[in-house]
Structure 1
Amino acid sequence: MYREKYNRLGERYEVLEIPLDRYFNPLRKKAVSLAQGRTLEVGVGTGKTLKYYPRNVELYAIDGSEEMIKIAKRRAKELGLTVKFFVGDVEKLPFPDNFFDTVISSFVFCTVPNPRKGMEEIRRVLKPGGRAVFLEHTISDSDLLNFIFLKPLDRILGYLIDDSTLRRTYDLIKEFFDVELEEKYYRGIVRLVVGRKG
């Protein structure tokens, strides 16, 4: 269902995110700066992260929405970037085992229908010693903030784009990767987590 919603949103998705860009874009830049070697971005969306990638990475990008991929391709062309784009889901990545040095996920796991399967797939396609970089919005450390802000927001986003702000993505990351870095922003609503495949 999320695919149809994102396909319908298309260009309007960028407009919806404008109020958040001033807070999230610096974090996107920081996350993407950690990419090395052959890199996959899962859930690339409209390609907001593309301009931040180091120029020496071999970049692959996948998203479940054909419309989002069209916009991201146009953005890559405008930036003069070579990116291999794919339409598909993180729960079933069309890549061989041990293929990537880095996998980037930027505000993706809030919409993944089966997040555990998504983590399994990211781990599968990473080389041993490869790094998975997650920038995700998750449930806050503050129960009060969860109650007065995230729960009402969760209902709205769930209806509009099958998005959940209340997931415990960090706990799931710890099950699949050795966590090397965790940074919390905005009372834990957003986390930057770097995990390594042992």
Structure 2
Amino acid sequence: MMAPNTERIKKRYNRVAVVFDLLEKPMEKFTSSWRREIIKEVYGKVLEVGVGTGKNIPYYAPDVEVVAIDFSKKMLEKARAKYQHIFPDVTFIEMDVQQLDFSDNSFDCVVTSCVFCSVPLPVLGLKEIRRVLKPGGKLVMLEHVRSQKKLVGPLMDILNPIPLFLYGANINRRTVANLRQAGFKQITETNLWADIFKKIVAVNGK
């Protein structure tokens, strides 16, 4: 069963796909080095959730088997057009993280980058990731989350409806708490910019 608001948010990402790289270009000065950092963590068979326009694809090692999914058809088309001919071994599939069409224990690692701001039911998506991860497998995330600072956090709550309306992204998600709710217990978080952008590594201790 599809989660509430999934179709609405999918349509918003389809709408902005044509200009998405342009909109994110200023941030890439920072995030490109962070992307390299998280991709260094992965090995074996890897699922990238929310591949978007494929910004992480060039950073994967040649011996890593990558399956890249996104629930936005237009974003996936852009990723495929940019990288399929350069990285023919990457498999691109239109799929929703809230309902993964993979067997249990299918992947050594899962990667997300700025994805769980947009998943309508984040705990459900994280539970699905945990299901398809092998025991001892790693979920490696580059995510922006709600600040815990006294003034910044409430401000993010106030501003949240703006990006949510424009393209379906929440700026005040509590992703580490959501990971715990989804059953992950071994969680390491590293602040990359203030306490908003984080590298998060969660080991699947089934």
Give the alignment's TM-score, normalised by structure 2.
0.90
Quote the residue 2:166 is aligned against: 160
- Equivalent residue, structure 1, for 2:102: 95
The 8 Å contact of residues 51 and 70 in structure 2, kept in 1 or not, is answered as yes
How far off is 1:180 after superposition?
Answer: 4.7
Aligned to 1:40: 47
SS at match of 1:41: strand
The 3 A distance-change label for structure 1 pair 78 and 32 is same
1:1-198 pair list within 5 angstroms: 1-148=8-155, 150-151=156-157, 153-175=159-181, 176-198=183-205
Q: Distance in 2 between matches of 1:41 and 1:99?
A: 13
Task: Give 1:29 shift.
Answer: 1.2
Name the TM-score, length of structure 1 as normaliser: 0.94
State the shift of 1:98 in Å. Answer: 0.4
User: Residue 3 of structure 2 aligns with which residue?
Assistant: none
1:47-82 residue CA offsets vs partner (Å, 9 max, x unmatched):
001011111111001001111111111222353342
- State how far apart, in whole Å, the 1-side matches of 2:53 and 2:159 are: 22
Q: Could you tell me how far apart the structure 1 residues matched to 2:68 and 2:29 are?
A: 23
Aligned amino acid, residue 119 of structure 1:
L
| 8 Å Cα contact 1:141-1:187 kept in structure 2 | no
Amino acid paired to 2:57? L
Q: Deviations over 1:62-113 (max 9, x none)?
A: 0011111111112223533421111111000111110000000111110000
SS at match of 1:127: strand
* Partner SS for 1:177: coil
Amino acid at match of 1:23: F
Provide the C-alpha distance between the structure 2 equivalents of 1:31 and 1:6, rounded to a whole number of angstroms. 24
Gaps of 5+ in 1: none
Q: Is the 8 A contact 2:186 2:204 kept in 1?
A: no
1:152 Cα offset (Å): 5.1
State the secondary structure of the residue aligned to 1:79. Answer: coil
**Residues 44 and 63 in structure 1, CA contact (< 8 A), matched pair in contact too:** yes
| Aligned-pair CA distance for 1:154 | 1.9
| Structure 2 spans left out of the alignment, 5+ residues | 1-7
Q: Which secondary structure state, in structure 1, belongs to the residue aligned with residue 191 of structure 2?
A: strand
Q: Check conservation: 1:183, 1:193, Cα contact below 8 A.
A: yes
Q: Distance in 2 between matches of 1:153 and 1:45?
A: 24
Shift of 1:31: 0.8
Q: Distance in 2 between matches of 1:188 and 1:166?
A: 12
Separation in 2 of the partners of 1:161 and 1:193? 24
| Percentage of matched positions with identical amino acids | 37
